[in-house]
Structure 1
Amino acid sequence: SSSELGDPRRTEGCMQRFILHPNCPQRGVWEINSLLLVVYDIIWIPLQLLEPEENAFTNVMEWVTRLFWSADIGCSYLTGFVTTHGFVELRPKPIAKRYLRTWFTLDVIVVGVDWMEIIIASIVYGGAFRFSRAARALRIVRMVRLLRLLRIREMAKVLFESMHSETIKELADMISIFLMILVSGHIFACVWYGLGTSEIEPGSWVEQTFAYRHGLGYRYMASLHWSLSQYSGGMDEIRPANVTERIYVVVVLVFTLMVGTVLVSSLTSSMTQLSILANEKKSKLSMLRKYLLDNKISSRLCLRIQRNAEFSLVEQEMFLPEQSVELLHLLSEPLRIELHFELFARVLKHHPFFDEYIDHCPHIMQKVCHCAPKIMGVSCGDIVFNVGEIPPKPKMIMVTSGSLTYTPVQRGPASVAGRKSLNVVGEETVRSSSRVSVKARPSAGRVSRRSVFNAAASSTVVLEPGMWIAEAVLWTHWMHRGVLTASSDSRLCLLDAAMFQQTVTAFDHDEFNPKIYANHFVALLNAAQDLSDNTMLLEAEALTRLEKELTAAAEAKSNRPKRRASLAKF
């Protein structure tokens, strides 16, 4: 079956409703639990070789892990996946085929070992074998469960993909290297003590050092001390006492020599890269400070400029600009259009008009999102636009993060009385049928949107994420009526009015015509007592009138008598 790029692939059937999306919250909670249980297995299973005392917690956790991983096999059959072409595959049959090819064999082996432990334990307590030997066999069988370590790689990949800062990624690389050293040291230490108590050969390092006389803490720390010292060539305090232990020491030394070299080089590379990133940032800020000092810029402005520069650097690390990603320029034009649509449609949908426009004309809004919007960052105290400013490149502003403050500046009754009527872009006058009478009164017990707008036009507004301002630039020639200032470090989505108008007018609109909305919007502006860049209370009224006009047109079209087509005679 075919589907659009990135859309989920589904099929009809009784199993389809049970399939989970790979990025759904339920699957995320399941993955977190699986990660915690893998960490528990890494710590507890090797520790069994040191013969710790069991308690109620460990007994409960044995059954929790056994039941969880058994259920995970069924859950894997019910979880979709993302294909190499970007599709989200949610059909049961392809999901089952992929799982059988990847994790199924490993999961069955590990879960089978989990349940085999119960059989071995029943034989032990049934007296079929000598208790000590069977218990030791049980501990060795449990080590197979460490194969779940392979799952951490997949989980780490998902975690790294969610990181956007290069600095955080380098720090995460360094932490992962330290964790790999500790995990390998933990496993080597537990196996080393297990060899010392295995009774394979007479004499062992445990007997020579009398480690068995001490508690679990001492035995574990002595073994861990020995294992970590292998990364630096070994230690003299604890030495192998038989051939089996000496073979194990040689194997561990070879492993630590090879893996240790790779880990140290990776750690050095990560630290070097981290240092380069830090020095590059310091160098840029130092050059900026030198420029400001050389040109004798005031200290107050210097502080604001430096703060803005630091914010921009952090912004660039957290949100990589599109122009910095070379591979995006290699994508096909239709794919880039779809990418931009997904990026900006979620922002524009906060606006009621664009929410409807996206639903009715998604093909047009794909083009709009491709060429009209762009992201801009502002820092606290920045003035985005000022009163009386006629923007050379007008843009509607939508807040995606942070907050801004809009302060209207009214010009007095005389200027309002002599105000010229605004016209829709591309038309000389607004049609008289679209004009709204200022004297019209609301019905009893109801407050009109226009009166609310007149009250809001003279009040200060705090713009938060999901809010917008200066929509009027899309529909008419506009001069800003107030001051917009950033209250905090913010990210804005700017919708270019010229590109929006050029794109929209290139299409025919049979049903949802933005020109009708523009006429109503500008008419409501002309009817307002005070003009303001904050028109968030007018959009709903203009959209309501547009919907009424479209409904009336649709009803008139449906009631129109149809002409009977005459049949041609042959």
Structure 2
Amino acid sequence: VGSITTSMTALRSMRADTKKQFWMLRRYLGFKKVPYATRSRIIKFLEFQCAKRSAEVSVESIEILDLLSVPLQNLLQFELRKQLLEGHPFFAYLQEHMLPIMISICSRVLKLTAFAPEDVVFRPGEESTSMYVVQSGDMEYRVHSSNHECLVAHQVGALAWLSEAALWTNWWHRGYFTSRAASWIGIIKPGPLAEIAKIHTAPWCFCRQYAAVFVDNLNRLNQESWNDLGLDTEKLQGLVEGAKNPENFLEKETRSRGVESWADSDDGRSIRSSRNSSKVQERPFSGFKL
């Protein structure tokens, strides 16, 4: 009985504190003369976040987890987040064959960020710095049609990924990525990923080969078809197989398409990378080398 009473008292105290916070927020926004439309968006999103937090058990409230060893903390983060990435063949391969690397990616590289309704994640022409994976919510990607007469909208749901090219090459966004409802998105940056991959020769080599195959495939596409949406899993699985056997993959692709592969060039690269270039170049993994 005493435990229940204590819990109820703590809950009432938390609710009272939340009400006070919202009261102070409204006063602050009013004092700063923040426009009504912006005030409304801010308050609605925070109300949603507070309601969600009160309905869930937050990690911060479980103080005993601080006693875990660092490897166990990393393993817990992996178990909580792996479903975000294991649907992508590249990360699925890492999980199956290089589990320690995948644990590090989930615990140290993958960052979760909240977005409110109508938030714009990126716009066309902006340089991309991350790959995005939708954890929950309702997102929309809009890109110009082939004749540039209109914007074509694509609904983006949970576990979808966008802008993977940012991990492997210099990339500028081709469309608008916006949230239609409160959403959580996983963000992977190429620099931290490279730092994890270079810990061991095997993941470093696999990532290098996958990057080369990914960029080679991108250069074979019509530039008009370039966008930020993720390739389908069947195509990505083929790229993973190509990264495992790069010579066979590139020979097959070159023979079937009759074009020069990246491996045939003097420096092993496709072409210089620039905003206006019709081809892209493999990212040098933020400078790390064997």
Q: 2:159 aligns with which of 466, 489, 504?
A: 466
Matched, 1:481 2:174: yes
Q: 2:130 aligns with which of 395, 399, 405?
A: 395
For residues 318 and 369 of structure 1, the distance between their equivalents in structure 2, rounded to whole angstroms, comes to: 25
Q: Deviations over 1:498-529 (max 9, x none)?
A: 21121112221289812222112112222332
Give the residue type in structure 1 aligned to 2:166: V
Q: Deviations over 1:45-69 (max 9, x none)?
A: xxxxxxxxxxxxxxxxxxxxxxxxx
Aligned residue number for residue 100 of structure 2: 363
For residues 495 and 289 of structure 1, the distance between their equivalents in structure 2, rounded to whole angstroms, comes to: 35
Give the residue type in structure 2 aligned to 1:465: A
1:362 shift after superposition: 1.1
Matched, 1:491 2:190: no
Q: 1:532 aligns with which of 227, 239, 251?
A: 227
Instruction: Give the secondary-structure state (helix, strand or coil) at the position aligned to 1:400.
Output: strand
Instruction: Give the secondary-structure state (helix, strand or coil) at the position aligned to 1:466.
Output: coil
Q: 1:508 aligns with which of 168, 192, 201?
A: 201
For residues 338 and 362 of structure 1, the distance between their equivalents in structure 2, rounded to whole angstroms, comes to: 10
Q: Deviations over 1:358-404 (max 9, x none)?
A: 1121121112122101222222222122222225xx22211122210
Q: Deviations over 1:475-505 (max 9, x none)?
A: 1122222111111222222223221121112
Between stretches 488-497 and 316-325, larger displacement belongs to: 316-325
| Contact map agreement 1:311 1:379 (CA 8 A) in 2 | no
| Contact map agreement 2:210 2:242 (CA 8 A) in 1 | no
| Contact map agreement 1:386 1:482 (CA 8 A) in 2 | yes
Matched, 1:521 2:214: yes
| Contact map agreement 2:213 2:242 (CA 8 A) in 1 | no
Relative distance call for 1:512 and 1:318 in structure 2 (3 A) is farther
Give the residue type in structure 2 aligned to 1:355: A
Give the residue type in structure 1 aligned to 2:168: W
Q: CA RMSD in A?
A: 2.8
1:271 shift after superposition: 4.2
1:319 shift after superposition: 4.8
1:322 shift after superposition: 4.3
Aligned residue number for residue 565 of structure 1: none
For residues 340 and 269 of structure 1, the distance between their equivalents in structure 2, rounded to whole angstroms, comes to: 30
**Where in structure 2 are there 5+ consecutive unaligned residues?**
249-290
For residues 545 and 534 of structure 1, the distance between their equivalents in structure 2, rounded to whole angstroms, comes to: 16
For residues 293 and 523 of structure 1, the distance between their equivalents in structure 2, rounded to whole angstroms, comes to: 54
Aligned residue number for residue 13 of structure 1: none
| Contact map agreement 2:74 2:107 (CA 8 A) in 1 | yes
Relative distance call for 1:363 and 1:284 in structure 2 (3 A) is same
* TM-score, normalisation: structure 2: 0.74
Q: Map of 1:7-156 to 2, 5 A cutoff?
A: none
**Where in structure 1 are there 5+ consecutive unaligned residues?**
1-262, 414-457, 555-570
Q: Which has the higher contact order (CA 8 A, sep 6+)?
A: 2
Aligned residue number for residue 235 of structure 2: 541
Residue correspondences, number: 244
Relative distance call for 1:472 and 1:307 in structure 2 (3 A) is same
Instruction: Give the secondary-structure state (helix, strand or coil) at the position aligned to 2:201.
Output: coil
Q: Deviations over 1:395-417 (max 9, x none)?
A: 2211122210011247989xxxx
For residues 367 and 271 of structure 1, the distance between their equivalents in structure 2, rounded to whole angstroms, comes to: 39
| Contact map agreement 1:372 1:497 (CA 8 A) in 2 | no
For residues 216 and 13 of structure 2, the distance between their equivalents in structure 1, rounded to whole angstroms, comes to: 58
1:535 shift after superposition: 2.6
Aligned residue number for residue 281 of structure 1: 18
| Contact map agreement 1:377 1:491 (CA 8 A) in 2 | yes
Give the residue type in structure 2 aligned to 1:550: K
For residues 380 and 498 of structure 1, the distance between their equivalents in structure 2, rounded to whole angstroms, comes to: 29
Q: Deviations over 1:148-178 (max 9, x none)?
A: xxxxxxxxxxxxxxxxxxxxxxxxxxxxxxx
Q: Deviations over 1:60-102 (max 9, x none)?
A: xxxxxxxxxxxxxxxxxxxxxxxxxxxxxxxxxxxxxxxxxxx
Give the residue type in structure 2 aligned to 1:532: N
Aligned residue number for residue 71 of structure 2: 334
Instruction: Give the secondary-structure state (helix, strand or coil) at the position aligned to 1:389.
Output: coil
Question: What fraction of aligned residue pairs are identical, expressed as a percent?
Answer: 29
Q: Map of 1:338-357 to 2, 5 A cutoff?
A: 338-357=75-94
Matched, 1:408 2:143: yes
Q: Map of 1:240-389 to 2, 5 A cutoff?
A: 263=1, 268-319=5-56, 322=59, 325-389=62-126
| Contact map agreement 1:360 1:512 (CA 8 A) in 2 | no
Aligned residue number for residue 54 of structure 1: none
Instruction: Give the secondary-structure state (helix, strand or coil) at the position aligned to 2:111.
Output: strand
For residues 496 and 328 of structure 1, the distance between their equivalents in structure 2, rounded to whole angstroms, comes to: 27
Aligned residue number for residue 276 of structure 2: none
Relative distance call for 1:552 and 1:275 in structure 2 (3 A) is closer
For residues 500 and 349 of structure 1, the distance between their equivalents in structure 2, rounded to whole angstroms, comes to: 16
For residues 545 and 379 of structure 1, the distance between their equivalents in structure 2, rounded to whole angstroms, comes to: 34
1:268 shift after superposition: 5.0
For residues 552 and 479 of structure 1, the distance between their equivalents in structure 2, rounded to whole angstroms, comes to: 27
Relative to total residues, which structure has the larger strand share, 1 or 2? Answer: 2
* TM-score, normalisation: structure 1: 0.39
Relative distance call for 1:267 and 1:519 in structure 2 (3 A) is closer
Relative to total residues, which structure has the larger helix share, 1 or 2? Answer: 1
Relative distance call for 1:284 and 1:483 in structure 2 (3 A) is same
For residues 318 and 374 of structure 1, the distance between their equivalents in structure 2, rounded to whole angstroms, comes to: 22
